């Protein structure tokens, strides 16, 4: 690729991208400061600033302090100059958001998928995006969409390799969405993109190495290193749900035994509660399920444990024991600053934190353990869709400036 660097247009795009990033993080900037930070001449910086102004991502906000001569004009970053689309698929629904350039939600929409086929999912996405786009100034929407989908995703090819819970295999989701919606499409696993949402404006803002663990019907870890989602050789890094915790444990849909997912996913926790209820356990869970143990959910178990219920508390401790082993391994392997528990169950997992920490202390090495914090996500149900939008926001300058020269 080096031979292309000499091309003036590409060089300008690279410089614009740097100027965009510098302005976005500085928020307010003068031409001399931009010149200093990019190492470019003041004349080149002036041209870049004109481009930023023309695209609307910068606006004038008066004059800075003079250092002798004329006071420099100050430019402010305008996060509402462009919008990004992101969508997350879960439980046969799409949660779709439009965010501004800071990843803040401008509009949101939830839309059902009529049947279990990929075609129906793409049709629902099309309808949802069309409806949502009509609510904002469409000229600001970047011509792209980020998707958080179930399953193992080949991010390079935009193909869902396997998504067992919806029974999808080798689904070329990117090509399908690009054809139907006419938008550049970026795809990643729905659990892992939550890490990007946390990194952009959740608990992990301004940190470099974080791990987000999504706990729901499945379990996945989004590993962010130096601000980027760590993908691995074929974008399957972070399959935390399928690390072996109990070698002789229950069989998993992946074919192995004792996977973390078989022990602490939503269905696994609900099953534990059902077994205990059928054994006639004394618990306030009965007030939630009536006389039907099969009505028990993982959420109920966490709620009951929070209210001090002994039986639910025992299940939570069991969950913490298994999750603790996985988290300690992550700490030893990746040395993160922060671990965020997210997904439908993780974000209501405050009751899990104390027993989890106890278990993690037992298994992790003291030195990497000394820097890590473990928290529950405060981002709410939009985290996955926002994370999907971040797949677009990461390419914002390319999408804003890429086609213009
Ligand atoms: Zn498995």
Confidence at residue 219, expressed as pLDDT on a 0 to 100 scale: 94
What does the alpha-carbon distance between residue 293 and residue 311 come to, in Å, rounded to a whole number?
14
Residue 350, classed as helix, strand or coil, is: helix
Number of structural domains in the chain: 3
Task: State the distance from the centre of ligand 1 to the C-alpha of 374, rounded, in angstroms.
Answer: 24
Q: At what angle do helices 350-363 and 298-306 cross, to 10 degrees?
A: 90
One domain for residues 229 and 295: yes
Same domain as 288, residue 180: no
Residue 372 zone, left/alpha/beta (φ > 0; ψ -120 to 50; rest) = beta
Has this prediction a pTM greater than 0.95?
no
* C-alpha of residue 262 to centroid of ligand 1, in Å: 7
For residue 220, report the distance from its CA to the centre of ligand 1, in Å: 11
Same domain? 340 vs 388 = no
3-state secondary structure of 279: coil
pLDDT of residue 403: 58
Report the CATH number at residue 73. Answer: 1.10.10.10
Q: What is the pLDDT of residue 306?
A: 96
> Considering 77, 94, 113, which residue would you say is the last residue of a domain?
77
- pLDDT at 61 (0 to 100): 87
How many Å lie between the centroid of ligand 1 and the Cα of residue 260? 7
For the stretch 297-323, pLDDT in tens is 999 999 999 999 999 999 999 999 999
What pLDDT does residue 184 have? 97
Tell me, yes or no, whether 321 and 216 share the same domain.
yes
- Structural domain harbouring 68: 2-77
Interatomic CA distance for residues 95 and 197, integer angstroms: 14
Residue 404: the pLDDT is 47
Confidence (pLDDT) at 13: 79
Distance, CA 98 to ligand 1 centroid (Å)? Answer: 34
Residues 96 and 192 reside in one and the same domain: yes
The CA distance from 27 to 74, in Å, is 10
pLDDT at 389: 97
Indicate which CATH number applies to the domain containing 192.
Answer: 3.30.420.40
Q: Are residues 334 and 276 in the same domain?
A: yes
226 and 351, same domain (yes or no): yes
- The residue among 41, 59, 39 whose CA lies nearest residue 50 is 59
Rounded to the nearest whole angstrom, what is the distance from the C-alpha of residue 244 to the centroid of ligand 1? Answer: 8
Residues of the chain short of pLDDT 50, as ranges, are: 1-5, 404-405
pLDDT of residue 402: 77
CA atoms of 245 and 258, how far apart (whole Å): 6
Ligand 1 centre and the CA of 150: distance in Å? 15
Same domain, 108 and 32: no
Three-state DSSP state, 140: helix
Expressed in angstroms and rounded, the spacing between residue 126 Cα and the centre of ligand 1 is 33
Please give the DSSP secondary-structure letter assigned to residue 166.
G
Same domain, 105 and 221: no
> What's the CA-to-centroid distance between 27 and ligand 1, angstroms?
45
Q: Name the CA dihedral angle for 395, 401, 402, 405, rounded to a multiple of 10 degrees.
A: -170
Task: Output the pLDDT for position 3.
Answer: 45
> 309 and 221 in one domain?
yes
């Amino acid at each position: 690729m080096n031979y292309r660097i000499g091309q003036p247009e590409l060089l300008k795009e690279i410089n614009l991208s740097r100027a965009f990033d510098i302005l976005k993080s500085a928020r307010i900037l003068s031409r001399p400061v931009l010149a200093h930070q990019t190492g470019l001449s003041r004349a080149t910086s002036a041209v870049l600033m004109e481009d930023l102004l023309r695209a609307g991502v910068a606006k004038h906000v008066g004059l800075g302090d003079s250092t002798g001569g004329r006071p420099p004009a100050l430019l402010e970053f305008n996060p509402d100059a462009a919008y990004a689309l992101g969508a997350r698929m879960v439980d046969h629904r799409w949660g779709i958001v439009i965010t501004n350039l800071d990843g803040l939600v401008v509009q949101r929409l939830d839309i059902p998928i009529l049947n279990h086929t990929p075609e129906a999912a793409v049709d629902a996405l099309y309808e949802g995006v069309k409806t949502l786009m009509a609510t904002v100034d469409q000229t600001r929407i970047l011509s792209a969409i980020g998707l958080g989908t179930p399953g193992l995703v080949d991010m390079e090819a935009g193909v869902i390799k396997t998504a067992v819970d919806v029974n999808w295999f080798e689904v070329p989701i990117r090509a399908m969405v690009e054809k139907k919606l006419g938008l550049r499409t970026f795809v990643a696993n729905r659990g892992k993109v939550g890490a990007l949402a946390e990194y952009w404006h959740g608990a992990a803002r301004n940190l470099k190495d974080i791990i987000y663990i999504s706990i729901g019907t499945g379990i996945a870890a989004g590993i962010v290193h130096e601000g980027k989602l760590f993908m691995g050789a074929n974008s399957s890094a972070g399959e935390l749900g399928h690390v072996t915790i109990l070698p002789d444990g229950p069989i998993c849909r992946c074919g192995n035994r004792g996977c973390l997912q078989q022990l602490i996913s939503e269905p696994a926790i609900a099953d534990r509660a059902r077994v205990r209820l059928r054994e006639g356990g004394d618990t306030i869970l009965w007030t939630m399920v009536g006389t039907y143990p099969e009505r028990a959910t993982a959420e109920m178990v966490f709620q009951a444990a929070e209210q001090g219920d002994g039986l639910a508390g025992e299940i939570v401790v069991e969950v913490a024991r298994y999750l603790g082993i996985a988290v300690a391994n992550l700490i030893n392997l990746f040395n993160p600053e922060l671990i965020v528990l997210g997904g439908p169950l993780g974000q209501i997992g405050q009751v899990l934190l104390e027993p989890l920490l106890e278990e993690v202390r037992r298994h992790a090495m003291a030195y990497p353990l000394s820097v890590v914090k473990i928290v529950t996500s405060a981002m709410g149900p939009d985290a996955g869709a926002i994370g999907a939008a971040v797949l677009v926001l990461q390419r914002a300058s390319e999408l804003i400036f890429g086609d213009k020269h």
